[in-house]
Structure 1
């Protein structure tokens, strides 16, 4: 399967999030975002816009760290959502054409972060959608091998999703099979599911629940998140 164009993926995420944020009133934007404890819905959008502003400004010290992202939120805490979205659109005119030339790992982090936070915003606004987007497909395709690598001695994993089958974690016979949507696998990988929720997926074989979370990005939730 041909991978979606990364520029299109990022732009489409930005346009969808911008439309959601523009349509929401201040009360909705001020809700605590269940998927990102400590941030409101508007704070998630501020991080997305602030990240592009930092890339344009060359402010990459501590890139992707908690301190780096929190500084983006803090700097825009008094901004209107219109101001946040205007900055994001303006900076994206510079960043989006550069995406193909970014270091592959950093490119994946940028795209996966945007896709993840789109659905954090959707969760906070109770506005599910775009779960079959090109962004979800791209992020799943790039990150599923990392989940396979985390299984180590447990052996390869076969993932049967809504659009096909992928085997990750080596060339040997899979020792486990997971039947789940790409969306759910991604949400689990980025700490938006509890270990109990992941264990309750449709599994067979040698299940290794902890390996389904990319803990370098976020730990698993301590309580379930239902979207």
Structure 2
């Protein structure tokens, strides 16, 4: 028998990972009023205020249990100050514990992925290093590999082993035909549209990567034509192939 008197089962892992990103972003965007108007190279046409507004709208859609596509809502109307946006975001985030337990699994998981991706976009725009040990990264990377798996299938490509220093996945079906590897953040950025085809080719590949490059375009993600941030160096290994 199900006990219905206690309400929905909490979903603390995804909420806490999301909260960590929100708090980091809030601290960064309120550090200096001039930050709001800085461009965000990873999000062409956006300034920092637009990035925060996007995150507020994504959070609002989750709280309102809006079934619409949450990956690409428009930025808010111009003129809303950043300090007002972050206050609204904090108030909305407080409501997530009552919403996430009954949300579909993709909605629960895509919130921290979206927040982490844009936290990294913001840090690049501000010339800051990535966060040290983000609690959102592990699950965001799992979800990114899952989306990449569907893209491999959609492009009719063979399976690919994806490897980071401490984890490994098989993206696609069957025995992997090749391996691509790099640091966890670097692989995440490559899988989520923040690395050019050339930068993707500079990861550690066990074979020339050209055949797999089309699969890096999936969902809302498309490799940029120009670098939006400097890629972290990938150690040369015995199976290293460079270039495309």
Band the TM-score falls in, shorter-chain normalisation: 0.7 to 0.9
Paired with 2:51 and 2:35, the residues of 1 have a C-alpha distance of 13
If each structure's helix is expressed as a fraction of its own residues, which one has the higher value? 1
Structure 1 partner of 2:52: 45
Paired with 1:62 and 1:103, the residues of 2 have a C-alpha distance of 12
Please, which of 7, 20, 42 is the counterpart of residue 35 of structure 1?
Answer: 42
Paired with 2:71 and 2:147, the residues of 1 have a C-alpha distance of 20
Structure 1 partner of 2:189: 187
Structure 2 partner of 1:5: 13
- Unaligned stretches of 5+ in structure 1? none
Structure 2 partner of 1:163: 166
Paired with 1:159 and 1:189, the residues of 2 have a C-alpha distance of 10
Judge conservation of contact 2:216–2:222 (CA < 8 Å) in 1.
no
CA shift, 1:108, in A, is 2.5
Structure 1 partner of 2:22: 14
Judge conservation of contact 1:157–1:176 (CA < 8 Å) in 2.
yes
TM-score, with structure 2 as normaliser: 0.79
Paired with 2:98 and 2:132, the residues of 1 have a C-alpha distance of 25
Structure 2 partner of 1:197: 199
TM-score, with structure 1 as normaliser: 0.85
Alignment of 1:109-124 (within 5 A): 109-124=110-125
User: Secondary structure at 2:30's aligned position in 1?
Assistant: helix
- Are 1:145 and 2:146 an aligned pair? yes
Distance 1:150 1:56, change over 3 A: closer
User: Secondary structure at 1:11's aligned position in 2?
Assistant: helix
CA shift, 1:99, in A, is 1.9
Paired with 1:89 and 1:137, the residues of 2 have a C-alpha distance of 23
Count of matched residue pairs = 215
Alignment of 1:44-83 (within 5 A): 44-57=51-64, 60=66, 62-64=68-70, 66=72, 69-70=73-74, 72-74=75-77, 77-83=78-84
Paired with 2:134 and 2:96, the residues of 1 have a C-alpha distance of 21
Judge conservation of contact 2:21–2:112 (CA < 8 Å) in 1.
no
Structure 1 partner of 2:214: 210
Paired with 2:140 and 2:67, the residues of 1 have a C-alpha distance of 25
Judge conservation of contact 2:160–2:170 (CA < 8 Å) in 1.
yes
Paired with 2:158 and 2:27, the residues of 1 have a C-alpha distance of 43
Structure 1 partner of 2:224: 221
Cα RMSD for the two superposed structures: 2.2
CA shift, 1:206, in A, is 5.9
